Amino acid sequence: MSKLKLSEIWRKLTQGRFPARAGQRQRMTAWQRWRRRMLLGVGLTLLPGIWLLLLGGLLPSQANLADLTELSEFTQLANGVNRDGGSLMVAEAEVNPMTGGKCLALANSLSATEQQAAASAWTYFVDNFQPDTGFTNAVSDYPASTLWDLGTAIAALNAAHALGLVDQGEFDARINLFLTHLGSLPLYDDRLPNKVYNAATKAMVDYNNQVIPRGIGWSTLDIGRLLIGLHQIRTCHPQYDDWIRGIISGWELSASVYNGQMYGGLPQPDGSTLRVQEGRLGYEEYAAKGYAVWGFDLSRALASEPYETVDIYGVPVPVDRRDHGNSNGNNYVLSETYILEGIEFGFSPELADFAQRVFEAQERRAEATGLLTAVSEGNVDQPPYFLYNTVYANGEPWAVITGENQGYPHLRTLSTKAALGWHYLYPDSAYGQQLRDRVWDITNTGRGFVTGLYESGLDQPTPARNQVLACNTNGLILEILYYKARGGQPLLGEAVD
pLDDT per position as a tens digit, 157-190: 999 999 999 999 999 999 999 999 999 999 999 9
Please give the pLDDT value at position 105: 86
Of the two residues 451 and 21, the one the predictor is more confident about is 451
108-142 CB burial, b ≥16 within 10 A, e <16: eebeeebbebbbbbbbbbbbbbbbbbbbbbbbbeb
CA 111-461-457 angle, to 5 degrees, is 105
Please give the pLDDT value at position 38: 46
Mean of the pLDDT values across residues 200-212? 98
What percentage of the chain has pLDDT greater than the value 70?
79
Please give the pLDDT value at position 11: 39
Mean of the pLDDT values across residues 328-333? 94
Q: Mean pLDDT, the chain, as a whole number?
A: 84
**Is 22 a residue whose pLDDT tops 50?**
no
pLDDT band at 319 (very low <50, low <70, confident <90, very high): very high
Query: Which parts of 190-253 are beta strand (E)?
Result: 192-193, 196-198
Please give the pLDDT value at position 54: 39
Q: 167, 173 in Cβ contact below 8 A?
A: no
Query: Looking at 56-65, 457-466, 476-485, which range is the least confident one?
Result: 56-65
Q: Taking phi first (over 0 means left), then psi (-120 to 50 degrees means alpha), and beta for anything else, what does residue 377 get?
A: beta
Q: Taking phi first (over 0 means left), then psi (-120 to 50 degrees means alpha), and beta for anything else, what does residue 398 get?
A: left
**Is 92 a residue whose pLDDT tops 90?**
no
Please give the pLDDT value at position 111: 97
Q: How far apart are CA 149 and CA 136, in angstroms?
A: 8
pLDDT band at 281 (very low <50, low <70, confident <90, very high): very high
**Is 47 a residue whose pLDDT tops 70?**
no
Mean of the pLDDT values across residues 187-197? 98
Sheet-wide strand order for 413-415 = 413-415, 450-454, 465-469
CA 80 to chain CA centroid, Å, is 26
Q: What DSSP designation does 134 have?
A: S
pLDDT digit string (tens) for 401-411? 999 999 999 99
Sign of the Cα torsion 437, 439, 442, 447 reads negative
Q: 142, 130 in Cβ contact below 8 A?
A: no
Mean of the pLDDT values across residues 1-6? 32
Please give the pLDDT value at position 494: 55
Mean of the pLDDT values across residues 299-322? 97
Please give the pLDDT value at position 335: 98
**Is 55 a residue whose pLDDT tops 90?**
no
Sequence-distant (≥ 6) Cβ neighbours of residue 351 within 8 angstroms: 285, 304, 338, 341
**Is 6 a residue whose pLDDT tops 80?**
no
Of the two residues 84 and 248, the one the predictor is more confident about is 248
Q: Is 16 exposed, middle or buried (0-12, 13-18, 19+ CB in 10 A)?
A: exposed
Mean of the pLDDT values across residues 119-140? 98
pLDDT band at 53 (very low <50, low <70, confident <90, very high): very low
Query: Looking at 64-73, 213-222, 236-245, 426-435, which range is the least confident one?
Result: 64-73
User: Is residue 146 helix, strand or coil?
Assistant: strand
Mean of the pLDDT values across residues 300-328? 96
Sign of the Cα torsion 6, 7, 9, 10 reads positive
Sequence-distant (≥ 6) Cβ neighbours of residue 76 within 8 angstroms: none
Please give the pLDDT value at position 96: 52
